[in-house]
Amino acid sequence: DEFISSPPRKTVRFGGTLTDILLKYEKGETTDFELLKHQLSDPDIKDAQIINWLHEFRASVAYLTKELEQLVSILLKLPWLRRSREVVEEYLGFLGNLVSAQTVHLRPCLRMIVSQFVPPRITIREDDVDISDSDDDDENVSENFNTCHRALQTVARYVPSTPQFLMPILVENFPFINKSERTLECYVHNLLRVTVYLPTLRLQILELIIEKLLKLDVSTPQQDIEDAEETANNSDSEEKSTEEGLFDMEEDEERKGNKVVSSRSERMAHPLAERLDILMTILFSYIKDVCHVNGKLDIGNTKDLYRDLVSVFDKLILPTHASCHVQYFMFYICSFKLGLAEAFLDHLWKKLHDPNNPSVIRQTAGSYIGSFLARAKFIPVVTVKACLDLLVNWLHKYLDNQDTGANAYCDVALHGPFYSTCQAVFYTLIFRHKQLLDGNLRKGLSYLQSLNFERIVMCQLNPLKICIPSVVNLFAAITRKYQLVFCYTIIERNNRQFIPVVRSGTGGDLVQTCTNPLDSFFPFDPYMLKRSKKTIDPFYQFWEELSAEDLENLKKPIKRGTSEDEDDDFLKGETPQNDGVVGIAPNSYESNTRSPVSSIGSPPDCYVPYP
């Protein structure tokens, strides 16, 4: 019955073989040619017909010149991916024959393949109205992507110049950041897969992806992410209190479906932050997979990828002010091996002390050094000491050169890199002083005294006036506790000299105090994206909140003659612990007066009055 009711198989040919049709077309007889185009464009075309046509086209690629690009574009629109295996194999063979015989069709072929790098969209219509435009939940989407990459590899094998023609197409096809998470996720994943078999494109593809991630990152300030999370948490708690006791029947189902519940709790409330989180997770996975072979770190692969990532960092990340999350790809790859972390610090150090670099780049390099030394758990004390020696010696040399100069006064425009380096040193000391003094207190104190902070703090350039107040006050408390330098006289004098800026506007006069004249930020402030955070947290040094008792401890200076084995319990809560929880930390976004952007893990100033 099924056979009888099925429509008869469509005829494959009109007017003879394909070669005959194409020769007739050249002579001006277009009837059969139009019928051929019509049949190839038929949405109900059967697998057998596609295979027959492709078989003939493979034998006739010599005729498919530029004049027949309209026919080739119809062939490239054939629905070959979601067909039988035989159709897919025949189509891959046709693509190989076409690009090798007629390279004029290379770009259209590449565009067709790249257009399949995102899942198809399905539109649900109801009464002539589009009610949905969602990703097609096709089970075969992963297999289709595999086939696309096979097709791209086939083309690249026949045309060695494929990479230079492919890159502009990958750029122009990159989905807009407001497209669905699934679309962005699939496209980025497929781009990274291309780097595996076309390694010459890796640097350009990483640049493209990280540039797009940066746009997402700077479009989602930390304050917006926090506000969105807070709003979502409030609405969730309201829903829970309203629905409590109403849906007991569903409790067992919820327990069974823990996966669904947890995945919902992992979603970011801010839509752009959600996209960024998914894409950062993919990038971290890619870095891990490239650097590890059979679960072991491959030094060669890791070094090559590190060089590419540093190149992207210099070009895109370093000149971008106050990005929050994307720069963590450097943090992550450096966690694989201490040598990489030291190479990264050395790279930043060269940027910082090279006077040929723009001042703003040198200042940002200083911020990165301070934040990296403070926050990276995998950097040992010996490396921290080596970096502090470099930075502090440079500061002293800088002061040597200024002592006799006409510019020896407090001015951010003149001495930006100096102030940025001071802040990096202060910030590192706040986070690492416990480790620097651990084991042998006398030896540790001797080392810190050898850094001669007194000269830096007391100099005419007055770094305590320029650095962020939260950093200055914690540094002052720690250095007074260990009698390294007494900062409070200078802090009070600076406070007296602080001239508020009065700005008149329609809403009346506004008094502003500039608490961040360097406009500096800490690039490795706490990471807020829920999924990708799990990759970073094991290597991340959190900050613990100061209790009232800790604040009291800060007021008690240690005695000069402390024995080496005396237990120093200074700053139990404030000192970073290896397994610390997120708390309050000195941050670029908080100070005496709140600046427009604030952040998790950022203390108000802990001003500790001297006795």
pLDDT in tens, 458-500: 888 889 888 898 899 999 999 998 989 888 888 888 888 765 5
Specify the pLDDT at position 163.
95
Percent of the chain scored above 70 by pLDDT? 75
In 3D, which of 449, 460, 461 has the Cα closest to residue 485? 449
Q: Are 374 and 428 in contact (CB under 8 A)?
A: yes
Specify the pLDDT at position 370.
96
What would the pLDDT profile of 99-131 be if each residue is shown by its tens digit? 999 889 999 999 999 999 998 876 666 656 655
Cα–Cα distance for residue pair 144/139, rounded to 1 Å: 10
CB-count exposure of residue 564 (10 Å: 0-12, 13-18, 19+): exposed
Positions in the chain whose pLDDT score sits under 70: 1-16, 122-139, 237-264, 403-407, 498-515, 544-611
Query: Strand, helix or coil at 486?
Result: coil
CA atoms within 13 A on the CB side of 77: 13
The CA-atom distances, in angstroms, between 604 and each of 324, 469, 594, 600 are 20, 9, 8, 11
User: Angle, nearest 10°, between helix axes 271-291 and 202-218?
Assistant: 150
User: Angle, nearest 10°, between helix axes 202-218 and 162-172?
Assistant: 10
What would the pLDDT profile of 1-43 be if each residue is shown by its tens digit? 554 555 544 444 445 688 888 888 888 888 888 888 888 888 8
Using left for φ > 0, alpha for ψ between -120 and 50, and beta otherwise, residue 108 falls in: alpha
